[in-house]
Chains A and B, each alone.
Chain A
Amino acid sequence: MWFSKNKNKKASIPQSPLTSPAEESKQKVVIKLKTSLQQNIKTIQEALGKSSDIVTREIRIGKQGNIKAGILYTDGLTDTASLQNFILETLMLDLNEIDLQEKASPEQNLISVLKDVALTVGEIKEITSLEVIITSLLSGDTILLIDGYAQVLVISNKKWAERAVSEPTAQTVVRGPQEGFNENLRVNTALIRRRIKDPNLRIESKEIGVRTKTNIAIVYIQDIANEKIVEEVRLRLDRIDIDGVLEGGSLEALIQDSTYSPFPTILNSERPDVVASELLEGRIAIVVDGTPFVLVVPALFVQFFQSPEDYNQRTIIGSLVRFLRFIAFGISLLAPSVYIAITTFHQAMLPPSLLISLAAQREGVPFPAFIEVLIMEVTFEILREAGIRMPRSIGSAMSIVGAFVIGTAAVEAGLVSAMMVIVVSITAITSFVPASYEIAISVRIIRFVFIALAATFGIFGIVIGLIALVLHLCSLRSFGVPYMSPLAPFNVSDQKDTFIVFPIWKMTTRPHLIGKKNMVKQQDSASAKPAPPKK
């Protein structure tokens, strides 16, 4: 039974002495502070390896300065103005005349007195654990140590350089709020809170990353969001055991349902209005500190085609644009493969004049259509990637070269046919029409599979590919919700916001599978319909 032994060995590995740093920290005993000020400062400094950005200041407070105290903060993360005005000034000048020792009683030691009476700062905590103290210090809090006490005061006066709330760059709209999330978790939750002033809006905080200790917030509306999905989100976040999370994307990778699917199962948005409307539908937002992109779960396929503009525009226009996005998705997915299939297998499908015109363009092109498409598509992908990475100042030079190389010059050199340039251009343009960039990237990959299928089997191959694609999409789930709903499983009332956008007053219910707990959005569509007053 060699294999079963092997299995046992494998299972025992986590318990071996070679533990990961993450596990090591868990097993650490909580180190408490001593009463000596000097010793305490030394302990903290040693724990931080005497980093140059940690500022230590020893002061004397009380009558005649008979009490030794120490202040520690991280330079650059702490608001030095408030440190001076409300901490140093209070302690060193205002308290000069008062005998603090006298005020302290057995029930209330000096530390508590300072906290309750003296320091005019909003958030303040008494802490004894060294680990917590260090985390707070590194997050930008100020630490106040008093000689003779084994507790410290952690005073919250964080402030660091950050980007202001500015216009979203990746998800723009013509009409709608021009406000986007930034890198600060609190600003981001505030932007959401400002839109939903419901007491049921819950913001739960968590820390992810053993080393980065990234703050994240789970945001949901308690009486709408499905409790099971919220619990699932908590579970998946708790399961994470990684040294660091620096961006929402890596968090997404850690909690998403299917890693190898080209389709995203978590929506991200940098628009507070989008996140707020998703919350109102019963979804759950995950705000990650340091990322201007907020994650939203569960995400459905059709959601990636919904833009906030659909609702800001008139309903007919919104519907047309929504429908256009689905068509563009189809074109972007299939245009090159259909072109290959028709020109190399099913020439009879073309009208005679078009066939002759295409044949005329292909005269002298040395490659088969398949290779031609690959050349063009790969060139385009490279150009697109280069366009994102390169310094902005050479952007215009690059676009000229790109347009010229993949357009005119390639055709004139007889490398590709003119029609192929049109096909690839249309593919490229349409791939940016869906409201979400994520779905555009996924199409990018699948397109190549379809090109290969079309080059080997023609339309037959494309149909096989489409069947496989639909099967795959239907097998996906996002936090337990079928990815293709409300199309599969089909739900009639959810169709009001799928391919066409119904008037707002007709959307009386929330998405069936997500807002199940509290389905009704507005009571009665008949009374909500705008109409002149009745006599």
Chain B
Amino acid sequence: MKKYIFGLLFFSLFLSGCWDRRELNQLAIAVAFGFDKVDDEYLVSAQVVVPSEMSVNGGTGKSQVTLFTARGETVYEAFRKMTKESPRKIYPGHLQMLVIGEELAEEGIGKSLDVLSRDPEIRPDFYVVIAKESAATDILNVTTTIESVPANKMFKSLKVSEEAWAGTKSINLDELLTDLISEGKEAAVTGIRLIGDPKIGSSKQNVESIKPAATLQYDHLAVFKGDKLVGWLNENETVAYSYISNTVKSTARPISCPNEGVATIEVIKSKAEVKGDVKNGKPEININVQVKGNVGSVQCEINLNDLETIAELEKSFEKKGEENGKRTIESLQKNYNVDIFGFGEAIHRSNPKEWHKLKNNWDEEFSELTTNIKVDLTILRTGTTDRTFLEKVQE
């Protein structure tokens, strides 16, 4: 008898299972979300993979992703409303990209992000970008080549360009939320632009030509004050921002030669130290950027065997870098009054007591902040030749 009761209890365990079971073909795997604001309502779009088109056998030639859109008073409501259009429930576990429309960004992104940080299915490691001069829906409505899933293209493109070019800056939801709530740092998010004809862009035709009619391109850096978009940094400023925020992995930088012409320095390593200090109640920031690089290309007549030439090249790079950094900080101080570099955090770390006095008035303090930037380049290698062959080219 005991055995039967035990058996009954054991098998009743299985009754509690299966509640969260979902087969793979019951999922609409969302790879990108787009948030826009239309007439006081959120317009949420989800780029969803069409698995049958992704199969190794090649599918039937239809688009590999599809876009579902829904409007709602809240983002969450819109998600659920999407099932009116979609045959499967949206599964956001593998989200790669979140695109936020410029208009919504100007109004404030905070409210729309809550659902993403709250939902247990969502991992906050996807990239957030701002659609510059367009709606997020339009960005998600462009076919791409090489990576046939546009979200993958956006994800990889941002990752690669951040690592190889430094003119873009990736930020995932986790980092963005940290920046939004930080007192001594404001958020900065890369912008994405639709270049070309959006009408052809959404069709398969777009990727059938060698040069697609519409492409997606990362450009500019959106500067936030609180959760509101206040302006854009251009490419040079973005590079400076990357150096100071210590995210440069590798990049290429043209510099002027000692006499005339240009050369390129390939940066292979960069380490920035931002140190805060408070002198007579006035905050001060010292930035020291240690850069290691190679001579990437030479388009002028210089002798690379000469150590002095190398030193001059280094000096030229350092000067240019320092100027660019100074200009970027000044522009932020003057135009936007926004501390995206985290200088406030640096002060907080070095002078916690002083920071408590400064933090309430940090925006004003930032605009009058003294910053010293010092760049120090070490050239390691000059490539496989020393003198350029250009010298021997007969005019």
Residues of A bordering B, CB below 8 Å: 343-345, 347-348, 350, 352-353, 355-365, 368-369, 452, 455-458, 461
Q: Give residues 9-54 of B contacting A (CB, 8 Å).
A: 14, 17-18, 20-25, 27, 29, 31, 49, 51-54
Contact check, A359 vs B17: say whether CB atoms are below 8 A apart: no
Write the chain A residue with the least CB distance to B23. A368
Contact check, A348 vs B24: say whether CB atoms are below 8 A apart: no
Asked whether A361 and B93 contact (CB < 8 A) given A355-B29, A356-B49, the answer is no
Q: Give residues 120-168 of B contacting A (CB, 8 Å).
A: 121, 123, 149, 152
Write the chain B residue with the least CB distance to A418. B56
Asked whether A364 and B52 contact (CB < 8 A) given A359-B27, A369-B23, the answer is yes
List the B side residues contacting A356 at CB < 8 Å: 29, 49, 51, 54, 94, 149
User: For the complex, what is the distance from the CA of A350 to the CA of B91, rounded to whole Å?
Assistant: 13
Asked whether A352 and B94 contact (CB < 8 A) given A345-B21, A360-B54, A461-B17, the answer is yes
Contact check, A363 vs B21: say whether CB atoms are below 8 A apart: no
List the A side residues contacting B55 at CB < 8 Å: 360-361, 363
14 contacts between A and B (CB under 8 A): A343-B23, A344-B21, A345-B20, A345-B22, A347-B24, A356-B49, A356-B149, A360-B52, A363-B55, A455-B17, A455-B21, A458-B20, A458-B21, A461-B17
Known interface pairs A362-B24, A364-B25, A452-B14; 16 further A-B residue pairs with C-beta atoms within 8 A, sorted by A's residue number: A344-B22, A344-B23, A347-B24, A347-B91, A347-B93, A348-B93, A348-B123, A356-B51, A361-B55, A362-B51, A363-B25, A363-B55, A365-B25, A368-B23, A369-B24, A458-B20
Q: Give residues 80-96 of B contacting A (CB, 8 Å).
A: 91, 93-94, 96
User: For the complex, what is the distance from the CA of A358 to the CA of B29, rounded to whole Å?
Assistant: 12
Write the chain B residue with the least CB distance to A353. B152
List the B side residues contacting A368 at CB < 8 Å: 21, 23
Q: Would you give the shortest CB distance from B37 to chain A, in whole angstroms?
A: 28
* Residue from the set A359, A363, A368, A457 with the largest chain B CB neighbour count within 10 Å: A359
List the A side residues contacting B25 at CB < 8 Å: 359, 362-365
Residues of B bordering A, CB below 8 Å: 14, 17-18, 20-25, 27, 29, 31, 49, 51-56, 91, 93-94, 96, 121, 123, 149, 152
Contact check, B29 vs A348: say whether CB atoms are below 8 A apart: no
List the A side residues contacting B56 at CB < 8 Å: 357, 360
List the B side residues contacting A353 at CB < 8 Å: 152
* Residue from the set B24, B31, B91, B94 with the largest chain A CB neighbour count within 10 Å: B24
Contact among A347, A352, A358 with B22 in the assembled complex (CB-CB below 8 Å): A347
Asked whether A355 and B94 contact (CB < 8 A) given A363-B55, A456-B14, the answer is yes
User: For the complex, what is the distance from the CA of A74 to the CA of B146, rounded to whole Å?
Assistant: 85
User: For the complex, what is the distance from the CA of A80 to the CA of B93, rounded to whole Å?
Assistant: 82
Contact check, B21 vs A359: say whether CB atoms are below 8 A apart: no
Contact check, A359 vs B14: say whether CB atoms are below 8 A apart: no
List the B side residues contacting A344 at CB < 8 Å: 21-24
User: For the complex, what is the distance from the CA of A356 to the CA of B21, rounded to whole Å?
Assistant: 18
List the A side residues contacting B49 at CB < 8 Å: 356, 359
List the A side residues contacting B21 at CB < 8 Å: 344-345, 368, 455, 458
Q: Would you give the shortest CB distance from A351 to chain B, in whole angstroms?
A: 9
Write the chain B residue with the least CB distance to A365. B25
User: For the complex, what is the distance from the CA of A348 to the CA of B24, rounded to whole Å?
Assistant: 11
Q: Would you give the shortest CB distance from A416 to chain B, in whole angstroms?
A: 13
User: For the complex, what is the distance from the CA of A352 to the CA of B51, rounded to whole Å?
Assistant: 12
User: For the complex, what is the distance from the CA of A458 to the CA of B96, rounded to whole Å?
Assistant: 25
List the B side residues contacting A350 at CB < 8 Å: 94
User: For the complex, what is the distance from the CA of A355 to the CA of B24, rounded to whole Å?
Assistant: 8
Asked whether A363 and B22 contact (CB < 8 A) given A348-B123, A355-B29, the answer is no
Q: Would you give the shortest CB distance from A291 to chain B, in whole angstroms?
A: 36
User: For the complex, what is the distance from the CA of A458 to the CA of B21, rounded to whole Å?
Assistant: 8
List the A side residues contacting B17 at CB < 8 Å: 455-457, 461
Contact among A347, A348, A360, A457 with B51 in the assembled complex (CB-CB below 8 Å): A360
Write the chain A residue with the least CB distance to B15. A456
Contact among A352, A358, A458 with B24 in the assembled complex (CB-CB below 8 Å): A358
Q: Would you give the shortest CB distance from B99 to chain A, in whole angstroms?
A: 17
Which 7 pairs across A and B sit closest by C-beta, in order of nearness? A456-B17, A360-B55, A348-B93, A359-B51, A360-B51, A363-B52, A352-B94
Write the chain B residue with the least CB distance to A349. B93
Q: Would you give the shortest CB distance from A276 to chain B, in whole angstroms?
A: 44
User: For the complex, what is the distance from the CA of A360 to the CA of B25, rounded to whole Å?
Assistant: 8
Q: Would you give the shortest CB distance from A335 to chain B, in whole angstroms?
A: 17
List the A side residues contacting B123 at CB < 8 Å: 348
List the A side residues contacting B20 at CB < 8 Å: 345, 458
User: For the complex, what is the distance from the CA of A359 to the CA of B29, rounded to whole Å?
Assistant: 9
